[in-house]
Amino acid sequence: MKTLKELEEIRQRALESVNLRKERNGTRVVVGMGTCGIAAGARPVLLAFLEEVKKRNLQDVIVTQTGCIGVCRLEPMAEVYRPGEEKVTYVKLTPEKVRRIVAEHIVNGRPVTEFTIGAADQQ
Amino acid sequence: MEDISLYILDLVQNSVAAGATLIEISITEDIQNDRLILSIKDNGRGMDSQTVKRVTDPFYTTRTTRRVGLGLSLVEAAAQACNGGVYIFSQPGKGTEVRVEFEYHHIDRPPLGSMEQTLVTLVACNPTIDFVYTHTTPVGRVYFDSREVRQKLGELPINHPEVIEWIKEYIKEGIDEISGGGGA
């Protein structure tokens, strides 16, 4: 059974290993959470990003949300911002695609071109 | 939308957009009276009575990117299909409460879905907003208050991955315990 007391343990454990990410300029993942995005499956996509970040213990990745990104037919969508690089917009996401994006783009720095909005528009 | 937890995720976005700092979500499974009641109450900027009258119209929206707003109109359609409805209480400067009612055993009522996933998504994405979740069934009640969690965490951010995991398990265990009194 989960208790509030466990939070104190988490706090102590986490504060030892994390140097609180204050001014560090990390990667930002923004998932579209408008009505269109949610109906298309944005919640499992966002949860997959959170899960991968936790599994890989990525300290400087922030996962957050925005409203409708504007191309509802391509939802669920997410934008990845890495410092000093151009924004990459991913479309028609699934939790499986998210796992590849985290591994190839966020960890190794190579965008997964075939999942991007540019690739979708050429089809 | 497939289930009620997704409608709630969608409706709470309105509270976030209204600048709320505290959002209270409650679900009441009133099996005796055959009602399922949702309430989303925020301390955001609120609306005047003119606006309240128009918000369930799909051709009314405050967004500037396009001319339709579907969130509240979708919920209203789903609720009305189950002998229920949407009731909105709001005042400028005082926040808004959106109440949605369904007939509990109506054949068209969407399932509840995963409230722990909705709450975790909200907390992880809005670490500066506080969320209170109350879920009542004939068997018992689940209560989650992010302000209590914050107090225990001190300087550790509430969207730390381990905290998020804890919140998910905490809510899931709670809901499992109070389910079974009629089967949502």
pLDDT at B182 over 50: no
- pLDDT value, residue A22: 55
Tell me if B170 and A2 make a contact (CB, 8 A cut-off): yes
pLDDT at B183 over 70: no
- pLDDT value, residue B26: 98
Chain B nearest-CA distance from A61, in A, is 11
Question: Residue A70's pLDDT band (boundaries 50, 70, 90)?
Answer: confident
- Collect all residues of chain A within an 8 Å Cβ-Cβ radius of residue B155: 15, 20
- pLDDT value, residue B184: 47
Please state, in angstroms and rounded to a whole number, the distance separating the CA atoms of residues B9 and B12. 5
Tell me if A33 and B9 make a contact (CB, 8 A cut-off): yes
Please, what is the Cα angle at B27 between B23 and B30, to 5 degrees? 155
Q: Give the number of A-B residue pairs with CB atoms closer than 8 Å.
A: 91
**Cis, bond preceding A76 (omega within 30 deg of 0):** yes
Helix axes B115-125, A42-55, angle to 10 degrees: 70
Residue of A63, A11, A14, A15 whose CA lies nearest to B126: A63
Q: What is the pLDDT of residues A45-57, one digit of tens each?
A: 999 999 999 999 8
Query: E strand or H helix at B4, and its extent?
Result: helix B4-17
Asked if ipTM goes beyond 0.95, one says no
- In the predicted model, what is the mean pLDDT of chain B? 91
Contact by Cβ (8 Å): B172, A2 = no
User: What percent of chain A lies above the pLDDT cut of 70?
Assistant: 93
pLDDT at B54 over 90: no
SS3 B26: strand
Chain A nearest-CA distance from B48, in A, is 23
Chain A contact for B110 (CB, 8 A cutoff): no
Average pLDDT for A75-97 = 95
User: What percent of chain B lies above the pLDDT cut of 70?
Assistant: 95
Please state, in angstroms and rounded to a whole number, the distance separating the CA atoms of residues B119 and A104. 29
Average pLDDT for A107-111 = 95
Please state, in angstroms and rounded to a whole number, the distance separating the CA atoms of residues B103 and B37. 9
Comparing alpha-carbon positions, the chain A residue that sits nearest to B123 is A64
Helical H segments across B18-110, by residue range: 49-54, 71-80
Residue A1's contacts (CB-CB under 8 Å, 6 or more residues apart) are B173
pLDDT at B181 over 60: no
Tell me if B125 and A46 make a contact (CB, 8 A cut-off): yes
Average pLDDT for B12-31 = 95
Q: What is the pLDDT of residues A9-40, one digit of tens each?
A: 899 888 877 665 555 678 999 999 999 999 99
pLDDT at B53 over 60: yes
Average pLDDT for A86-93 = 96
Higher pLDDT, B9 or B58: B9
CB atoms within 10 A of CB A21: 14
**Which of B1, B8, B13, B114 would best serve as a mutation to test chain A binding (most A beta carbons within 10 A)?**
B13
pLDDT at B130 over 50: yes
- pLDDT value, residue A2: 85
Chain A contact for B128 (CB, 8 A cutoff): no
Q: What is the pLDDT of residues A112-123, one digit of tens each?
A: 999 999 888 776
pLDDT at A107 over 70: yes
Chain A contact for B93 (CB, 8 A cutoff): no
- pLDDT value, residue A98: 97
pLDDT at B154 over 60: yes
Comparing alpha-carbon positions, the chain B residue that sits nearest to A21 is B157
- Collect all residues of chain A within an 8 Å Cβ-Cβ radius of residue B162: 10, 13-14, 54
Chain A nearest-CA distance from B49, in A, is 24
Q: What is the DSSP letter of A3?
A: -
Comparing alpha-carbon positions, the chain B residue that sits nearest to A63 is B125
Tell me if A50 and B63 make a contact (CB, 8 A cut-off): no
Average pLDDT for B60-73 = 76
